[in-house]
Amino acid sequence: MQISLKWINELVNIEKIKLDTLVDKLTLAGFEVEEMREIKISKTNQIVLDISATANRSDSLSIQGISSEIAALLKTSLNLSNHLIQSEKLKQIIWDKAATFSISTGCTTLLSVSVENLVDKTIPKWITKKLLSSGITPSNTLVDFQSYILLETGYPFAFYDFDKIRKKIGKVDFKLSVSRAAGNDSFVASNNESYDLDQSILLLKANEIPISIGGIIENQEFSCENSTTSILIEASIFTAAIIRQQSRKLGVRTDRSARYEKSLKNTYLIESLYRLISLLRISNPKLTIKLRTIIKENEQVINPISLNYGTLKEILGPTKKSSNKNFEYIDSKTIEDYLNRLNCKYDYNEKTNAWRVTVPHSRSEDLTREIDLIEEIGRLHGFNNFLITLPKLKVIGTKDKSYETRQKLTSCLLNLGLNELIHYSLVNEKTFLTNQISVINPLVSEYATLRLSLLPNLIRTSQENWKQSNAIINGFEYGHVFSLDTNTNFKEKEHVAGILGGFGTKTTWAESEQVVSWFEAKGRIERLFEQLNVSVIWKSTSVCSNHLQEIFHKYRHAEIYLHSGTLIGNFGQVHPILANDLSISSNLYLFEFDLDIIKVALENNNVSIYKEYSSYPKIIKDISFIVKQDIEFDLLKQLLYLNGSQFLSKINLLDEYKGNSIPKDHTSLCLQLIFQSNEKTLQNSEIEEILNNIRFVLTQEFNATIRN
């Protein structure tokens, strides 16, 4: 917005304020001064500033608004325009006559006034100068009055040819209303463009005849011309969201719609209309004015905000007046002065040392919380007037447990040869998982839902690299997953997931490539938990969680639990049907764990106790036997350790064999048993006795057949 300091000076006395000082105060207050320059208008030099305001300060997008802001920053009075004072009685009369909207239409205020005997449409020279100083070239039409009022007050007004409307309707009196388009309507606007309307578009109608697209552009049929002598002035307030949606859908944006998009209140609507009529009267003293329509929504009740002095001190901190020994803070008197500058009403409670603040109607959308008021007070005081050094803390901080868990887990996963990957939390709703939570207004359809699992993105990444014949993607990812519980409440958890295998590898030049097997992949995960010092239980299952059934192989999937029975997560091979659909290797292995469960397990870990290596020799014995293939190897190991005495230190699986000599549904296992004592040299006779006991237990418990 380009503003002239000469125009500002009419409302706020800034003659004695240095330009650099004014620019600094505006910048620190959140108004970015993009450019300063000098222009010549009617042989007079003027300084103009190009200012941009933050999105939540729509009240400052006018000369009156920015002047009010400058007055508050400079602690000076604002010279109220005559129309603001003279229109007070008229304002009360008009609002008393207002009807109320019975339903929400997207229009909060609808006001119209007819103006007749409008003969001279030229604007005064002083208005011409002000338009030029704001970067607008006058056209000597009614548009100049609209542009000037928009600049001065921030309110956009629409003009219609009053005689054309009455001629179309065939009546002197008519009723204005706001309603949705019927659908499949065509609308020719004042810019000579035709627009197809659907039922989402708001129309302003005069007795069911559309005269404009609400808040955006007028109907060409009722637009004003040079010969127009009577006009209908529409002064409406539309909600920002409705105008943004309509403008985007129709592909049209006007000065009027741009102003509505930034939100507008009806606080000074009557005063601005009064000002517009006063300007029209300058060259047309015999104007006939009549109020035609006045409807508004019930005024929103503005709830008071509690402003606690202690909270304000804690957030803003001491001022620069503080000494090394004593901190000085903003006092109560200064705070109340700032509240007065903001036009807030307040009551102070000495017992609670807090204020009960009611913000003005024009600031009711951006001042809604205590922190908003504290920010405004800090802004008026000047954020550069507070100490910026952090106080020295005597309390020694501790490391975040979640961070420590991630750090340790990352180190282990990197050691296993996996690389860290990163994906978006938003995923395509057409992914091979049915995600439960959709974004209401996604930017693009590719990111329309919140992910239920980390695995789909990892699989997609592997697929893309497979297509490009890139290197092996063995990777892991941390991220949040989202779901709904039984009460349809949102749940958010942090998971870690990974993918490995797929491509063949070889350890020597002469060997052929070998893909990672189930046991190799499972061994890496076992190694991971060993490094974390977390004891887990593996349970094979053919029943996955609903959202994992399409990802994991039905018969090559396992759930991993803590000994307490808490589920950590899942590990398994990719589902062959999914692998075929995506044209990827079926030898991919996936895992996904709950990071919070791992964190708790690490916190509950006992302190590790170290002991010396035994200096006595080991005795290694092999044992072969045949058992049913559905017996879990962990059960066998547990049984052997229980019956192998304290000397059995380690069990290794050397070989598994299935063939013609092995009964159906059975398998032959060859185990290596390592015996060692920390106190003596073991004798073969002792070990043979232990082995005989182990053979007996295997035959009794698992009906095993011992092989020679």
Q: Convert the pLDDT of each residue in 605-664 to its tens digit.
A: 877 778 888 899 999 999 999 999 888 888 899 899 999 889 999 999 999 888 888 898
Residue with structure tokens 């230190």?
649
pLDDT band at 571 (very low <50, low <70, confident <90, very high): very high
Q: Which of 385, 419, 435 is the last residue of a domain?
A: 385
Are 292 and 309 part of one and the same domain? no
Per-residue pLDDT at 505:
73
pLDDT band at 477 (very low <50, low <70, confident <90, very high): very high
Beta pairing class for 426-427 and 449-450: antiparallel
Residues 406 and 362 in one domain: no
In a domain, residue 446? The reply is yes
Same domain, 26 and 161: no
Identify residue 230 by its one-letter amino acid code.
Answer: S
pLDDT for position 302: 86
How does DSSP assign 188-229, residue by residue?
EBTTS-EEEE-TT-EEEEETTEEEEETTTEEBGGG---TT--
Residue pair 435/450 in contact by the 8 Å Cβ criterion: yes
The reply to whether 75 and 93 lie within a common domain is no
638 and 599 in one domain?
A: no
Asked whether residue 676 falls in the same domain as residue 535, the answer is no
Q: Is residue 392 part of a domain?
A: no
* 96 annotated as ligand-binding: no
User: At 180, which CATH number?
Assistant: 3.50.40.10
Residue 492 CA to residue 480 CA, distance in Å, equals 6
Give a yes or no: residue 395 inside a domain.
Answer: no
Q: CA triplet 155, 362, 369: central angle to 5 degrees?
A: 145
Strand positions, DSSP E, 297-436: 305-308, 345-349, 354-358, 419-420, 426-427
Q: Of the ranges 196-205, 302-311, 433-442, 629-638, which one carries the lowest mean pLDDT score?
A: 433-442
Listed residue (250, 363, 253) closest to 302, CA to CA:
363
Q: Is the pLDDT of residue 543 over 70?
A: no
Position 103 scores a pLDDT of: 44
Domain boundary among 54, 79, 104: 79
Helix, strand or coil for residue 271?
A: helix
Helices and strands, number each (H, E), in the chain = 21, 31
534 lies in the same domain as 641:
no
**Do residues 358 and 343 make contact, with C-beta atoms less than 8 angstroms apart?**
no
pLDDT value of position 188? 92
Taking CA 481 as the corner, what is the angle to CA 478 and CA 486, rounded to the nearest 5 degrees? 150
Helix 595-603 / helix 518-532 crossing angle, nearest 10 deg: 50
pLDDT (0 to 100) of residue 158:
94
Phi, psi of 153, deg, nearest 5: -110, -20
173 annotated to bind ligand:
no
376 known ligand binder = yes
What is the reported pLDDT for 437? 83
**Co-location of 126 and 231 in the same domain:** yes
Mean pLDDT, the chain, rounded, equals 88
Q: What is the 3-state secondary structure (H, E, C) of 234-258?
A: EEEEECHHHHHHHHHHHCCCCHHHH
User: For residue 83, what pLDDT is reported?
Assistant: 62
Alpha helices in 551-632 (DSSP H): 576-582, 595-603
Q: Is the pLDDT of residue 413 over 60?
A: yes
Task: Show which of 272, 296, 320 is a domain's final residue.
Answer: 296
Which of 313-322, 380-389, 690-699 holds the top average pLDDT? Answer: 690-699
420: CATH = 3.30.930.10
Q: β-pairing, 194-197 with 345-349?
A: unpaired
297 in a labelled binding site: no
Check whether residue 416 and residue 374 sit in a common domain: no
**Does any domain span residue 527?**
yes
Q: In 227-331, where do the E strands start and end?
A: 231-238, 288-296, 305-308
The answer as to whether 394 is a domain residue is no
Residue 219 has pLDDT above 90, yes or no: yes
593: nearest Cα among 532, 678, 676, 644: 532
Residue 519 CA to residue 514 CA, distance in Å, equals 13
Helix, strand or coil, per DSSP, at residue 679 = coil
Q: What percent of the chain has pLDDT over 90?
A: 45
The domain in which residue 512 lies consists of 401-603
Q: What percent of the chain has pLDDT over 70?
A: 95
Within a domain: 574 = yes
Residue 104 has pLDDT above 60, yes or no: no
Low-confidence winner among 66-75, 100-109, 122-131, 322-331 (lowest mean pLDDT):
100-109
User: Domain check: are 309 and 292 in the same one?
Assistant: no
pLDDT tens for residues 235-288? 999 998 899 999 999 999 999 999 998 888 888 898 899 999 999 999 999 999
- The predicted model gives 230-235 an average pLDDT of 94
- pLDDT (average), residues 455-480: 87
Q: Is position 688 within any domain?
A: yes
How many domains does one find in the chain?
A: 5
Pairing relationship of beta strands 475-484 and 419-420 according to DSSP bridges: parallel
Report the CATH number at residue 630. Answer: 3.30.70.380
Residues 418 and 539 in one domain: yes
Do 438 and 581 lie in one domain? The reply is yes
Q: Are 180 and 201 in contact (CB under 8 A)?
A: yes
What pLDDT is attached to residue 427?
Answer: 83
Question: Which residues are registered as beta bridge partners of 667?
Answer: 627
Q: Residue 25: inside a domain, yes or no? A: yes
CA distance to 80, 324, 574, 601, per residue, from 479 (Å)? 56, 46, 20, 19
d(CA 691, CA 696): 9
Residue 13, domain CATH = 3.30.56.10
- Band of pLDDT at residue 105, cut at 50, 70 and 90: confident
